[in-house]
Amino acid sequence: MENVHKQARASTVKAKKLSEKKKDMISGYLYVAPFFIVFGIIGLYPAIFSIVLAFQKWNGLGEMEFVGMNNFAIVLQDPLFWKSLYNTVLMGLMGTAPQLIVGIILAYFLNMAVIRFTNFFRVTIFMPYITSMVAVALVFGVFFSSNESALANYVIGWFGFDPVSWKTSEWGAKIAISLMVFWRWVGYNTIIYLAGLQSIPKDLYEAATIDGANKVQQFFHITIPLLKPFIVLTVFMSTVGALQLFAEPTVFLGSSAFSRDEAMTVVMYLYRDAFNLGSFGTASATAVLLLIIIVGAAALNTWLTSGAGSKKRGVKS
């Protein structure tokens, strides 16, 4: 009889322990629930709704009409879509690729012990990233004004070039916006590379110096291979950011941003369709096409940067 009581008491204690585990589990779910609720409302629901809307004809107020793949056909047959895609890729290459190379070089110099006032230079390089886009647009609007006395026209005049109408010419607008993107994001990538450089053990450089390797050999055979995870990260983020270019050309060109095609990007194209022309169906179809392009480009870039590093080390994929 006593054994029976002991077994009953043990089962009661076990049940209480299980109950405590369940309470802990529920409390854990409650702690993380706000994030998933907010993400579902402002992230997941609009994404799913946009995919559904890509197959509908809708002006934002009336009833939706299912049109199948017609929105995709309209977008793909529109020359302005291909022009905006061309502008996006070109300005992405002109504004993003140089900032990755310059970012590595700047981070390398900032990581050198002989450089003084490194904290000052780090803050100075990072400042453009946290500067307001309105301020950036005002500054670049003055630099790249169409007047002959503008700073950009004054500089190119030293090399014998005629003044350029930066906001209305085909290449002038692209160059000015690419420089704005470069100036704004190079500091952000520099800080990421600097964090990567500071994680590389110093004894590797000391051993290489004892073996007779110079600074250039150390840079290409120690720094770059060990910095590869950070390079892959910045290439991925820069690719996604470049294909979503919107703020810089919009604030630089002002009211003429959506009426001219010299610097119209894919995101500006779908914004114009949705909020200027009231065609939410074609805008959503453009967003779906952009998503496919971003996934493909990011995967290709990540594969190329990862593959290059593996081949250098002789790693079989």
Residue 309 predicted with pLDDT over 80: no
**How much is the pLDDT for 6?**
61
**How much is the pLDDT for 317?**
37
**How much is the pLDDT for 14?**
56
- Across 224-247, average pLDDT: 87
What is the C-alpha to C-alpha distance for residues 143 and 135, in angstroms, rounded to an integer? 12
**How much is the pLDDT for 84?**
93
Domains of the chain in sequence order: 22-71 (no CATH), 74-306 (1.10.3720.10)
pLDDT tier for residue 10 given thresholds of 50, 70 and 90: low
pLDDT tier for residue 17 given thresholds of 50, 70 and 90: low
Rounded to the nearest integer, the mean pLDDT of the chain is 83
- Across 289-305, average pLDDT: 84
**How much is the pLDDT for 76?**
93
Whole-prediction pTM:
0.78
Residue 302 predicted with pLDDT over 50: yes
The label of the residue with tokens 């008491």 reads: 9
Output the CA torsion 34→40→41→42 (10° steps): 100
Question: Residues 136, 180: contact at Cβ < 8 Å?
Answer: yes
Q: Which amino acid is present at 273? A: D
Question: Residues 248, 179: contact at Cβ < 8 Å?
Answer: no
What is the C-alpha to C-alpha distance for residues 102 and 217, in angstroms, rounded to an integer? 19
**How much is the pLDDT for 7?**
62
pLDDT tier for residue 267 given thresholds of 50, 70 and 90: very high
- Across 169-185, average pLDDT: 88
Decide the pairing of beta strands 65-66 and 56-57. antiparallel
**How much is the pLDDT for 16?**
56
pLDDT tier for residue 126 given thresholds of 50, 70 and 90: confident
pLDDT, one tens digit per residue, over 68-96 is 899 999 999 999 999 999 999 999 889 88
Q: Which amino acid is present at 144? A: F
What is the C-alpha to C-alpha distance for residues 5 and 237, in angstroms, rounded to an integer? 64
Q: Over pLDDT 70: what percentage of the chain?
A: 89
**How much is the pLDDT for 314?**
47
pLDDT tier for residue 284 given thresholds of 50, 70 and 90: very high
pLDDT tier for residue 59 given thresholds of 50, 70 and 90: confident
- Across 237-246, average pLDDT: 88
**221 to each of 83, 200, 205, how far by Cα in Å?**
41, 13, 10
At residue 56, the 3 state secondary structure works out as strand
**How much is the pLDDT for 26?**
85
Looking from the CA of 302 toward its CB, the CA atoms found within 13 Å total 11
**How much is the pLDDT for 315?**
43
pLDDT tier for residue 142 given thresholds of 50, 70 and 90: confident
Name the least confident of 97-101, 177-181, 234-238, 306-310: 306-310
